[in-house]
Homo-oligomer: A and B are copies of this chain.
Amino acid sequence: MSAFRARPPAIPTTLVDDAVTRIIRWDFEPGADTGVHTHGLGYVVVPMTDCHFLIEEGDSAREAFVAQGAAYRREAGATHNVVNAGSEPMSFIEIEYKQAL
């Protein structure tokens, strides 16, 4: 497999990274992706825009729509690539908790 990526990268901006939490804003132009990553911590996603996700996981892919503000929680362990499958810029804020304080 080649390391060539046809998609533009999503842009991460770290808002907080301390002993308790890491908070990252992700901004995607249409077609951008995060690259494959594994979640070592559980996380909450707060969509700042409507999000038309394409989630690539192993050999499978699925689309998901999450409305602006429809926050959700996921447990640690997922390995996936997250793509903006929409025609507009897409942003969400990801909150990981290192400890509950």
A70 near B15 with CB under 8 A, answer yes
Number of chain A residues close to chain B: CB under 8 A = 28
Q: How far is the CB of A11 from chain B (nearest CB, A)?
A: 13
A73 near B18 with CB under 8 A, answer yes
Contacts of A95 in B (CB 8 A): 44, 46, 71, 95
A61 interfacial by beta-carbon distance below 8 Å = no
Contacts of A48 in B (CB 8 A): 48, 68-69
A73 to B21, CA, bound (A): 8
Contacts of A91 in B (CB 8 A): 69
Q: How far is the CB of A69 from chain B (nearest CB, A)?
A: 6
A25 to B101, CA, bound (A): 20
A36 interfacial by beta-carbon distance below 8 Å = no
Among B16, B46, B75, contact of A93 (Cβ-Cβ < 8 Å): B46
CB-defined A-B contacts under 8 Å, sample of 5: A15-B71, A25-B71, A71-B93, A75-B101, A97-B101
